[in-house]
Structure 1
């Protein structure tokens, strides 16, 4: 049985930047002797000094002991001489995202560390096969992709090229787990798991702005307060930096040409202007001033009657919240509030000839969400909608109205995350379980796309994608066959 590298084994990290230093700390905390390598010895020494300061803060907060902090720093050794790495069992490269530079580093190291050492690249986008091409020991090359900051983020993607020895990948998988990380296996494809599956989170948000569905603040608020994401897509892109986020999208778009992965002219305009987000003070938001916020102007009220139809399962927690808030509730043939029809949004706009209707977006948890997106048709009067918003305010929910168009934010995002994840599983990039783990622990999604989709049902995903395809773009929202198979067989993804 394959096991992790033994604690105490000597390893090396190439590159003493933020990521390299973070990886060195993770390995050192696990008991390894770590060579932290940089061309400039002072850079490695400065990085270790910063790590020591960070560990001291953890000691002060009671997170680790002073002894643990001291042992961690004692395990990290700075060097500018690659020959010090002879005899190491694992070398992790965390340098500039340039194939030629990485290739040359590994070519040099293989002449020093030999055939038994494992050579791991922390690349986030470059195929491992391209880095390993022509190297002396390609079977020993593997991807070991940490997420920033490496000391905090739990996920490690273990990427195998066609030449990677399966035992090598398994050793890295178990070693990362021994370092208290969540490991996932991925094949050597553009974006691996996270940077591939995450594209709809950004792409759908940008598409909604282009369609006039909402502005940055509205979409971010809905995705946070209803979707349960830690940050909205525009906030997150500003934090990542548009140069970085745009470059990854461009790379995936070029390699996996599909309308979904097309770069957005909205983001390209920011990159061209140099408005890269928080690091330049301006991106989608201006960080020299307070960020805009939505204000709920509804007045909580428990007047009105709610009629609830049997079988309205997905929205049932919503009706229960209204009931618990004191709204008079009774059984009905259709779900309505004072004659206003209430329904679940499934990708399509409300029909123009329908009676007065409001359709609701999905949420991570309808029992606790503080906001919820919705849309209404022209037959719904301002007075009817205001009365409904007041009732929702009584239940602690900010009802955010959006245009009566296809694709409310959380629904279209979850449907497309599931679609792209299904494509990755169908193409054997990763397993279903690893796709969910990767998104949960690599980008802190509230839950994996397949777990979420099963809560709604594969048929909900199928119907939502079909409506988005019909109303917006057939090629962009084309359903993956793997989803269709589950719908036909009437089974969940986790059968």
Structure 2
């Protein structure tokens, strides 16, 4: 790029599918001249019809003036041949996710566009550096990754390839702002920011399910109503559809050379092969009727409260949470204050990152009476609570604990024994992967949190979430899971470990010379 202040006013878009027409919509409304390129004239006609219908709907809702809609549509021009893009300041590729096909297109574009024209790829999973390697001028190539639906998902990742000119990315950052989107900057690494960070929810949710700890519906309920996410992992997978999400999971796993944090699950492979891909197929992890998920109902909570309760003293703050809840719910239970539990007491433990069995063994407790409760999210504020049993816990003790924690009307999910319950291990994995993205310098802490909140709809970015719950708490969960299971996927990121031990925010950037 020869000029320092480069403004993109004429934009080419290669591909007129959902992503291409979405980008064309926001670009035309922002005042840019748009050349929508597709060798299939029927696809171009369909895209133009879609844009016209979309603008009409916005007019009917009072969100767009008719004159502005007509002007925007007039700025979109059809192009069936690559040489019609010769006057473009930038061309965004939004075609099939195939490296060879993208490289071929970029070589074709290089032959017709101006020397300073930026070539951008909307790829979600392929390396920008690898795409640029097929070009004579790799410095002009950058990633410009939008999310579907483009007009509603107002975040875009700008990715610098290894040989990319930062000014190309700078120009795309400014273009994104002009089109009403929030740009975030990332280095060229598998999954960039959003798809990389999204591995935590999906892969760990699948791991929990594969261990038989809880059903798909129960895992979703826990992540929504206890952890506060808008969607659980299986609702999210049904929304994105496995024909899209499973290949991305495999791609990121292999591009990171089989990093265990990103290991896909055979659950999704089998369901993809059987056509159970999600909402758009009418059946995925849930069956859909008229677009609505058919969720299995929960059984009513037991009502028989325990006569006597003994609460572990291992963590006084977590013990206090349980005592406070019991007092608030007016449950008529006797609190066993003995140093060891009486023979008939229900034994309540509050582990972080450990399973109920390990706690029972470490504290020399009767496993038949042990029930664990998750206190990561305050028991008196959550919309759902989770308890888990050891393999030896009797049904009577399980039901008594269920009745106790549901006494104030808050639903309770009972799961099988798990290192870190469900919410603890999924949330800790989300935070840990976010920390590793920061450790690798893929993006700034601010952009990591911003991209995840806007791109995935999480209530907090991973680093802010870790700070909210306590970095030392997240570190303890991961270290305990790793210590019990020995699975490297739970090893803490150095970014997390160092900041937790020093009492620093996970968004803290160290000063470098």
Same fold (TM over 0.5): yes
Which is further off, 138-147 or 319-328? 319-328
Mapping of residues 315-334 of structure 1, within 5 Å:
none
SS state at 1:113 partner: coil
Mapping of residues 121-270 of structure 1, within 5 Å:
121-256=121-256, 257-270=258-271
Which is further off, 430-439 or 355-364? 355-364
Q: Report what 1:291 is aligned to.
A: 294
Which is further off, 137-146 or 363-372? 363-372
Q: Is the 8 A contact 2:308 2:336 kept in 1?
A: no
Mapping of residues 29-428 of structure 1, within 5 Å:
29-256=29-256, 257-287=258-288, 291-295=294-298, 297-298=300-301, 342=348, 344-350=350-356, 351-352=359-360, 353-354=364-365, 357-361=370-374, 368-377=381-390, 386=399, 389-390=402-403, 392-393=405-406, 395-428=408-441
SS state at 1:203 partner: helix
Q: Is the 8 A contact 1:340 1:380 kept in 2?
A: no
Q: Aligned pairs, how many?
A: 492
Q: Report what 1:482 is aligned to.
A: 495
Q: Distance in 2 between matches of 1:55 and 1:376?
A: 55
Aligned partner of 1:443 among 433, 436, 456: 456
Q: Distance in 2 between matches of 1:378 and 1:110?
A: 64
Cα–Cα, structure 1 residues 60 and 142, in superposed 2: closer, same or farther, change >3 Å?
Answer: same
Output the aligned Cα RMSD. Answer: 3.4
Aligned partner of 2:476 among 463, 475, 482: 463
Cα–Cα, structure 1 residues 153 and 110, in superposed 2: closer, same or farther, change >3 Å?
Answer: same
SS state at 1:400 partner: strand
Residue 196 of structure 1 deviates from its aligned partner by 1.5
Which is further off, 157-166 or 250-259? 250-259
Cα–Cα, structure 1 residues 56 and 264, in superposed 2: closer, same or farther, change >3 Å?
Answer: same
Cα–Cα, structure 1 residues 52 and 163, in superposed 2: closer, same or farther, change >3 Å?
Answer: same
TM-score, length basis structure 1: 0.88
Cα–Cα, structure 1 residues 447 and 4, in superposed 2: closer, same or farther, change >3 Å?
Answer: farther
Q: Distance in 2 between matches of 1:92 and 1:50?
A: 19
Residue 405 of structure 1 deviates from its aligned partner by 2.3
Residue 145 of structure 1 deviates from its aligned partner by 0.3
Write the deviation string for residues 86-134 of structure 1: whole angstroms up to 9, x where unpaired: 2211111100111111112111212222111111100011111111114
Q: Is the 8 A contact 2:307 2:345 kept in 1?
A: no
Q: Distance in 2 between matches of 1:75 and 1:13?
A: 13
Residue 80 of structure 1 deviates from its aligned partner by 1.1
Write the deviation string for residues 436-492 of structure 1: whole angstroms up to 9, x where unpaired: 112111111121111111112111111111121122343121112222211332222
Cα–Cα, structure 1 residues 407 and 84, in superposed 2: closer, same or farther, change >3 Å?
Answer: same
Q: Is the 8 A contact 2:434 2:448 kept in 1?
A: yes
SS state at 2:91 partner: strand
Cα–Cα, structure 1 residues 339 and 56, in superposed 2: closer, same or farther, change >3 Å?
Answer: farther
Gaps of 5+ in 1: none
Cα–Cα, structure 1 residues 70 and 303, in superposed 2: closer, same or farther, change >3 Å?
Answer: farther
Q: Is the 8 A contact 1:389 1:398 kept in 2?
A: no
Cα–Cα, structure 1 residues 140 and 41, in superposed 2: closer, same or farther, change >3 Å?
Answer: same
SS state at 1:21 partner: helix
Q: Distance in 1 between matches of 2:355 and 2:302?
A: 27
Residue 424 of structure 1 deviates from its aligned partner by 1.5
Q: Is the 8 A contact 1:227 1:364 kept in 2?
A: yes
SS state at 2:498 partner: helix
Q: Is the 8 A contact 1:228 1:363 kept in 2?
A: no
Write the deviation string for residues 142-181 of structure 1: whole angstroms up to 9, x where unpaired: 0000011111112211110111111111121222123222
Q: Report what 2:511 is aligned to.
A: none
Q: Distance in 2 between matches of 1:339 and 1:3?
A: 74
Residue 82 of structure 1 deviates from its aligned partner by 2.3
TM-score, length basis structure 2: 0.85
Q: Is the 8 A contact 1:121 1:142 kept in 2?
A: yes
Q: Distance in 1 between matches of 2:306 and 2:398?
A: 13
Q: Is the 8 A contact 2:37 2:80 kept in 1?
A: yes
Q: Is the 8 A contact 1:37 1:81 kept in 2?
A: yes
Q: Distance in 2 between matches of 1:297 and 1:389?
A: 10
Write the deviation string for residues 311-344 of structure 1: whole angstroms up to 9, x where unpaired: 966798887676666668999989x9x9756554
Q: Is the 8 A contact 1:436 1:451 kept in 2?
A: yes
